[in-house]
Structure formats: C-alpha cells, structure tokens
Amino acid sequence: IVSWVFSSSDMFKATAVAEPEGFQVTAVPTKPIEGQKTGTSGLRKKVKVFQEPNYLANWIQALFNSLPEEDVKGTSLVLGGDGRYFNKEAAQIIMKIAAGNGVSRILVGREGILSTPAVSAIIRRRKAQGGFIMSASHNPGGPKNDWGIKYNYKSGQPAPESITDAIYGNTLSVSAINMADIPDIDLSSLGVTTFGSFTVEVIDPVPDYLELLESIFDFDLIKSLMNRPDFRFKFDAMHAVTGAYARPIFVDALGAPEDCIMNGIPKEDFGGGHPDPNLTYAEELVTEMFGPDAPDFGAASDGDGDRNMILGNHFFITPSDSVAMIAANAQQAIPYFKDGPKGLARSMPTSGALDRVAAKLSLPFFEVPTGWKFFGNLMDSGKLSICGEESFGTGSDHIREKDGIWAVLAWLSIVADKNRGKVAGDTLTSVADIAKEHWAKFGRNFFSRYDYEECESTGANKMVEHLRGIISSSKPGTTYGNYTLHLADDFMYTDPVDGSVATKQGIRFIFTDGSRIIFRLSGTGSAGATVRLYVEQYEPEVSKHGLDAQEALKPLIDLALSLSKLEHFTGRTKPTVIT
Ligand code: G6P
Ligand code: ZN
C-alpha cells in the first residue's frame, strides 16, 4: 500500500490508496449526495440524475463500504442489465470501482446485457458473491427517462433491507471513491481481460440461463407443440432484454419460426415504448392476439425480463390466475416439479386463486407482502417452489427473481402436456380451454387492479390515513350493500423463517364471501404517489365464469371508491391503467 498524491485538473486531490498487482487504486474525494435511498427494487432515478458527477460512483462505493470485507475482497461479481441508455457507461464505472475495492473477478454480459433472471441464475451457478443489475425494469428508457441499479447477493436474491439500509447510511457519509486506473473494457466481444489481480470476463448472456431452463422443462415436449401446424406462437420482447434471449431459446432451441418474435432487438430506449407487459403497454401484441386470425399463444416480457404476460387467442390470463394454473399443472407438465411443488405463495394483493390450488393439493401456502424479496427465505428453507404476484411476476425456486421466460415455458409446457398424443385433425386444447377447465374445478377469482399513477403525494397519503381511520373503527359483521365485513386491517407479515416483521403493507377489507378490496401505495413509482386499488370476487358458479371481469367486479369497485373517497382525496375520476 502506498500513499501517493497527484494534482488533477479537478478541484479535488486524489490519493492512491493501494497498488494491487497490475493497476493502481486512487481514492477520489467525494461528498455525500442526498436522496440515494433504495426502494423495493434498487435505486431508480432519471438518467440525468445518474449522470451528475459521482452520483452512481458514490452509491457503488457506499455499497462496497456496507458489505463485510469477505464479501468483497477476492470475490466474483456478476454485472449486466437490460440494455437501456447509460448502461454501458455505468458498467465501466462499476468495474473500476469493483477493482478498486478488491473484487477479483467480474462476469459481465456481452454489451452489458443480462436479464434479471439470468443474473440471478449466473450468480447461483457460478457461485459468485453477488451481482449488479442495471435496469429500471419496466420503466421507459433513454436520455430523458429512467435508469436504475440493484444489488443481488449470493443466493441470487435482491439484497435484504439490512444491506440496503446500510448502503443508504453510507451514501450519507461517503468521502472517497476507490477507483482502479484500468482502461475501459471492450464489452462487445467475449473473452477474459486481466489486470494483475483483477479479471473481467465478458460472457454470452444466454447459455447459463438456457441450460438452467433445459434442466427444468421438457424441451422435446415443447418442441412437439411448436411443430404442430395448428399452433402459432408469438413473443413480444418489447425492444427490451428478452430480445437477446428469444431467438436462441424459442427459435434455435425450441423450433419456433423466426417470425414468432416481435420487437426482438434490445434498444437503449426500448423503441420509445414502455416495456411493461400488460394489456395497456403491450399494445402491439394485444392487438394481434385479439384481432382477426389471432395466434394461439402470445407472451411478452418487460424491460429486464422478469415480468410476463400470457395470452391465448382472444384470451387474457390474469397473472393471479396464471400462477394458480401453473401450480395446478406443474407436477404433470414440468419435470422440475415431478415430485410435486414443495409449497406455494403469493403476494397479499394477488387473488386467492392460488390458495385454492394449495388447499386441493394439500400444500403449504404463504401470503407475503408485495415484493419478490419476501419469497426468498421461504425458498432457501425449502418451503416454497412456485409463487407469483398480480403485478405480472411469476417464478419458482430455480432462481431468486421472478422469471418472464420461465413463465412462458411453463405455460407452453402446460399447453403441450394437454395436447400430448393428439394427432393431425384433433382439436388443439387452447389456453382458454385450460383456464376454463381450471375455473370449473376451482371456481373463478375475478380480479382487477386500478392504478392512479403520479397522484399528488399529500392527497394520496390523506386517503390512506382516512382508510386507516375506517379500519380502526370497523367491526366484523358490518354490511356494505351486499357485502358483510369479515375483517379490515393493514396487512402485517411475520417471516416464518427469520421472524422479521413487515407492517403497513396494504389496507385490506375482506368480506365474508371471500371478496376483497385492497389499497396500497406503490413502492416503485418514480414521481408522486401511485395509488393501487385491487378488487377480487370469488365465483363458484360455472355459468357465471364467462362474465367480463370489469362487469363482475363493478359493485365492489364502486364500494371501494366510495369507502376511500378516492376522488375527493386525489382529484382522480378514473384510473390511468386497469389490469
Ligand atoms: C416490482 C417488484 C415486485 C412488485 C412490483 C410492484 O416489480 O419486483 O415484486 O410486485 O414491483 O410493486 P408496487 O409497489 O409498484 O406495487
Ligand atoms: Zn422487471
């Protein structure tokens, strides 16, 4: 270790703090920057905020300051992202600071590309100490839009609050950035570059992830479906990261035709779109799936590849149903689950369709707060295999993130399984048939979510206070129109593995017939407050399963709006997005 000062053209003086073999590390003076608290899914801000001097570097250094030395020195880290604007610059900054803090190896996706599930898979498979995901998920990209960074630790799971809180604390005191004086790394070609004790390996984003999927699903079974002349498949990568995976997986490995992929080239601005796979933003796919001559199966994934939407010909599978239907058919259709799933779980606002599957299969079942991280402990302790959220997230314990392409392969496996042994001329069992059969067996949980995005925070908070007032004075047995209150509360969760408690996770009104009204403020919005209203009604009666969800839920939605005085508090007469 040497102490060495050089004068730079900057106002600051930088000090060399260490001289590992092959390069030099300089302690670049910095000052704390306000507002670097990470939300549910890492630090997300506008690109121009991250472009401010040291903004990203401070956070990365604060992260290294937060980790125990053995998690940094001499370790391997994975680095990749969804291909959005600023990722390439960010990758260079992150690699220099990683080297400066003693990390010995970085595995980085070619062109900085790795989907979120792939990062999780690679951390686990290559036994890395953790990894960085450069993404703002489904938020738009480009110079005027969003950027984000998230740290996952060695199980492949997003860092727990104990780490993110420590990072935030360190952003408020960080005074020097340990920067290695290595040159920018060429991310365009595969290979290993070594600077003494520090190595960067540029990896193909696909093989680790594809091999994992091959170990989970019966690829021959899915191929047999893809080869049927009466089955047409479409996948919309929304100009985002799954564009890098779609062709090698769906076309090369599963035999789907080239033209099954829409918007398949990742772009820095996602083609100007909003890469969120839902009925509003995946408009191009939705138009095709609900148009004349619609394909049989349609799917889309978001910016970083962890979300999914599943469609049939003129048919939408709501995510709450999707996880329930995957769980009900997993043992039969997916080799990974051949001994049956260990347990099932959903986030609190997700409909109770999954609960009914768990009950029928006598499986352990868990209801956790919104946020994928809550599934991790259950998976690590062997209590959980399949889980999902209403927010278009579905996955399993093969990794520790939700997984868009996994969900598509799960659904393809189910459709293929239901059509096993059929010959030319037999009618194909469709996505819609599978859903209707499921409802006939389990009943249908009608579900919808109303989003009121970018509300003024004061009004939104007052509405939540108003609702808390109602629940504190509410009594079971009170009737609201045709509904009788079973319980009203602010959801609280105690983790059965480590005993940690999460409070104030959403206001619930649960009625005696199982119907629910839930209010939450989003934890992922980047401006103002986003109010989410979730409504759910259980319908056992098969003759009513064909109803439109909005129609079936109208009385509950009206009740929710009047109970909450939403219009009064937020000034909104209608939601910005309905899913
Ligand atoms: C991210 C998280 C999910 C969460 C979703 C919605 O995608 O990974 O776990 O369900 O955001 O969160 P929000 O707080 O915006 O409703
Ligand atoms: Zn995402």
CA-proximal residue: ligand 1, atom 16 (nearest): 522
ipTM: 0.96
- Give the CA distances from residue 520 to residues 127, 365, 461, 578, in Å, rounded to whole numbers and listed in that order: 37, 23, 10, 15
Can you give the residue ranges of every domain in the chain?
A: 4-205, 209-442, 444-578
For 31-46, the pLDDT digits (tens) are 999 999 986 678 999 9
Q: Is 141 in the pocket of ligand 1 (CB under 6 A)?
A: no
Map 345-398 to HEC letters. EEECCCCCHHHHHHHHCCCCEEEECCCCHHHHHHHHCCCCCEEEECCCEEEECC
Q: Which residues surround ligand 2, an ion (CB under 5 A)?
A: 137, 302, 304, 306-307
Kindly tell me if the per-residue pLDDT of 5 is higher than 70. Answer: no
Does residue 389's CB lie within 6 angstroms of at least one atom of ligand 1?
A: yes
Confidence of residue 505 (pLDDT cuts 50, 70, 90): very high
Residue range 436-465, pLDDT digits in tens: 999 999 999 999 999 999 999 999 999 999
Tell me what pLDDT residue 18 has. Answer: 62
Catalytic site residue from 66, 137, 347, 430: 137
372 lines ligand 1 (CB under 6 A): yes
Number of C-beta neighbours around residue 216 at 10 A: 18
> Is 40 touching ligand 1 by the criterion CB < 6 Å?
yes
**Strand 76-81 relative to strand 105-113, pairing:** parallel
- What pLDDT is stored for residue 200 in this prediction? 97
Superfamily of domain 444-578: Alpha-D-phosphohexomutase, C-terminal domain (3.30.310.50)
Would you say residue 9 has pLDDT above 90? no
pLDDT at 13: 54
- 391 Cβ inside 6 Å of ligand 1: yes
* Residue 304 confidence (pLDDT) above 60: yes
Look up residue 195 and give its two tokens. 């600077």
pLDDT digits (tens, 9 = 90+) for 89-125: 999 999 999 999 999 999 999 999 999 999 999 999 9
With the most atoms of ligand 1 within 8 angstroms of its CB, the residue from 278, 522, 524 to mutate is: 524
**Which whole number is the average pLDDT over 541-559?**
93
Continuous segment of H or E residues that includes residue 469: helix 457-473
Mean pLDDT within 411-426: 92
Check residue 337 and give its pLDDT. Answer: 98
Does residue 157's CB lie within 6 angstroms of at least one atom of ligand 1?
no
Domain spanning 209-442: CATH 3.40.120.10: yes
Lowest mean pLDDT among 14-18, 70-74, 256-260: 14-18
Picking from 94, 66, 93, 58, the residue whose alpha carbon sits closest to that of residue 175 is 58
Residue 16: what pLDDT? 63
Q: For position 460, what pLDDT does the model report?
A: 93
Average pLDDT of the residues in 244-270: 97
Per-residue pLDDT at 138 exceeds 60: yes
pLDDT of residue 526: 64
Buried b (16+ CB within 10 A) or exposed e, 358-367: beeeebebbb
393 Cα: distance to centroid of ligand 2 (angstroms): 8
Dmax over CA atoms of the chain, in Å, equals 80
As a whole number, mean pLDDT of residues 493-503 equals 93
In this structure, which topology does domain 4-205 adopt according to CATH? Alpha-D-Glucose-1,6-Bisphosphate; Chain A, domain 3 (3.40.120)
Provide the pLDDT confidence category of residue 17 given band limits of 50, 70 and 90: low
3-class secondary structure, 165? helix
Please tell me what DSSP assigns to residue 265. Answer: S
137: annotated active-site residue: yes
Per-residue pLDDT of 335-393, as tens digits, reads: 999 999 999 999 999 999 999 999 999 999 999 999 998 999 999 999 999 999 999 99
Summarised one tens digit per residue, pLDDT across range 172-210 is 999 999 999 999 999 999 999 999 999 999 999 999 999
Ligand 2 center from residue 303 Cα (angstroms)? 6
Q: Is 303 in the pocket of ligand 1 (CB under 6 A)?
A: no
Calculate the average pLDDT of the chain. Answer: 93
524 lines ligand 1 (CB under 6 A): yes
* CB 497, CB 380: distance < 8 Å: yes
CA of 370 to the centre of ligand 1 (A): 6
- Closest ligand by atom to 389 CA: 1
Predicted local distance difference test score (pLDDT) of residue 14? 61
| Domains 4-205 and 209-442 are alike in CATH topology | yes
pLDDT the model gives residue 1:
32
What is the distance in A from the centroid of ligand 1 to the CA of 40? 7
pLDDT tens string 207-218 = 999 999 999 999
- The pLDDT score that the predictor gives to residue 114 is 98
- 69 Cα distance to chain centroid: 29
Atom of ligand 1 at shortest range from CA of 520: 16
Q: At what angle do helices 116-125 and 404-418 cross, to 10 degrees?
A: 90
Determine what percent of the chain is predicted with pLDDT higher than 70. 96
Q: What pLDDT, on a 0 to 100 scale, did the predictor assign at position 406?
A: 98
Alpha carbon distance 453, 525 (integer Å): 8
pLDDT of residue 108: 98
Question: When comparing pLDDT for 320 and 39, which is higher?
Answer: 320
∠124-130-133 over CA atoms, to 5°?
Answer: 100
**Which residue lies with its CA nearest to atom 13 of ligand 1?**
522
How close is the Cα of 391 to the center of ligand 1, in Å?
Answer: 6
Residue type, 118: A
pLDDT confidence band for 10 (50 / 70 / 90): very low
d(CA 554, CA 398): 39
Alpha carbon of 9 to ligand 2 centroid (Å): 40
pLDDT of residue 527: 73
pTM for this predicted structure: 0.93
